[in-house]
Amino acid sequence: MEKHKRRLSLSAWIFIGMIAGILTGLAFLPAPEFVTTWIMPLGTIYINLLKFLVVPVVLFSIIDGVISLQDLKRVGNVGVRTFIYYLFTTALAVAIGLMTVNLFRGMFSPLPSAELAGLEYVAAEAPGIMDVIIDIFPDNLFAPMVSADMLPVIVIAILFGAGILAAGERGQRIGTLVSEMNAVVMQIMMMIIRITPIGVFCLMANVVAVNGASVVGTLALVIGIAYLAYFIHLAVVYGLSVRLLSGMNPIAFAKGIYPAFICAFTTTSSNATLPVNMECCNRMGAEPEISSFVLPLGATINMDGTAIYQGVATVFIAACYGISLSASDMLTVVLTATLASVGTAGVSGAGLVMLAMVLTSIGIPVEGIAIIAGVDKLFDMGRTALNITGDATCTLWVSKLERMRKAKAASK
């Protein structure tokens, strides 16, 4: 009898790629230029392919998701629940970050003024609240797609989806075309997902080869504190959400989200991880029309990991300058980081822009960002992985609510 060989799952290959990347990076610590010259370009190609998919995935999946909801009132209900969930968990994330870092604040000491004098960081100008609101509504159909500006793209998709529903029978043909285009995009997505282990290997090798030695020193402590806060938020907030709100075993959820988690950890981009996260959530039982709507929205406005980073980095930089933060300062950090997350793009390095906003709000020199900018990539890996995990927990919860609504409607 012919024996069937058991194939390794995608998760297993991703894990193998990550371990192989770490070992390769360690092997080339004395000569990281080899990795950056010959291995990292393959990782860059992988990221480019993911970024290439972001706009079509967001555009067609949200339009298709809105059409699948079949009711404009239902679209509004799902949107409100999603937005409230994201803002609530982001506020909790900032609070957890602040509480965790303050437990270790006594271990931070002010840096010599000579070291601070040479610091320089040119921050991107923080947009005002009204500017953020105005920019959400595009004045050009194609400009947001070319620049991959996700908030306007989401608005465009929602408007087109709502228009197709409002057009009734005349909109059905366009809706069918959108659904078919979405199916094509999903197939392209699956092709790219299959090469994720190779992309993870190349990206991880570069991170370790370039930053491996620099983590040793005073920054090792604050990096460890940030990851401790990431873990607390993951275990407590997301664990309880999955168990109590979604009725799912947290261990099963951890296994299901693992491929997206590793992809986010290595690419440091919520938007680039969106296709993988969508596939993981659908496999865990999320309603496809809900994941098509909630996940792209979360990749843009849900920044729990980034919010934790704001709290940890703010207290650390303040300590470096010898500044003590009051209770009102802490509250300002919570409010600023929560609101700023709505207008921050889900791309690698966006956390530094948010951090500049937070530091400015409580009077800490923005130049202090330079203290941690050199290892921001290491913070970014964990916070992005946490961001996309939060997107998934919201998707599962909203999916459960929708299933309950359908069951209630069917029983009448």
3-state secondary structure 294-312: HHHHHHHHCCHHHHHHHHH
What pLDDT band is residue 232 in, cutting at 50, 70 and 90?
very high
The 10s digit of each residue's pLDDT in 194-230 is 888 898 888 878 877 876 654 445 667 888 999 999 9
Give the range among 50-54, 141-145, 214-218, 349-353 with minimum mean pLDDT: 214-218
pTM for this entry:
0.71
Higher-scoring residue by pLDDT: 186, 137: 137
Give the range among 49-63, 121-135, 248-262, 394-408 with minimum mean pLDDT: 121-135
Higher-scoring residue by pLDDT: 105, 124: 105
Give the start-to-end residue ranges of the domains of the chain: 10-411
Give the range among 37-46, 296-305, 319-328, 362-371 with minimum mean pLDDT: 362-371
Q: What does each C-alpha distance from 81 to 73, 101, 279, 298, 347 come to in angstroms?
A: 13, 31, 22, 12, 24
Of 185, 199, 341, nearest to 278 by C-alpha is 185
Whose structure tokens read 């506020």? 91
What pLDDT was estimated at residue 219?
Answer: 67
What is the average per-residue pLDDT within 232-257? Answer: 94
What pLDDT was estimated at residue 346?
Answer: 46
Q: Is-contact 221 104, C-beta < 8 A? A: yes
Of 357, 368, 349, nearest to 332 by C-alpha is 357
The pLDDT > 70 percentage for the chain reads 83
Which helix H or strand E contains 60, and what residues bound it?
helix 40-69
What pLDDT was estimated at residue 293?
Answer: 84
Higher-scoring residue by pLDDT: 357, 181: 181
The 10s digit of each residue's pLDDT in 75-112 is 778 878 888 898 889 889 888 988 998 888 877 766 55
| Helix and strand totals (H; E) in the chain | 20, 0
* Contacts of 261 by beta carbon, 8 Å cutoff, 6+ apart: 385, 388, 389
Q: Which CATH superfamily is domain 10-411 in?
A: Sodium:dicarboxylate symporter (1.10.3860.10)
Hey, what are 390's tokens? 């939060």
What pLDDT was estimated at residue 215?
Answer: 43
Higher-scoring residue by pLDDT: 54, 157: 157
410 burial type by CB count under 10 A (0-12 exposed, 13-18 middle, 19+ buried): exposed
What pLDDT was estimated at residue 241?
Answer: 94
**Residue 314 to residue 18: CA distance in whole angstroms:** 31
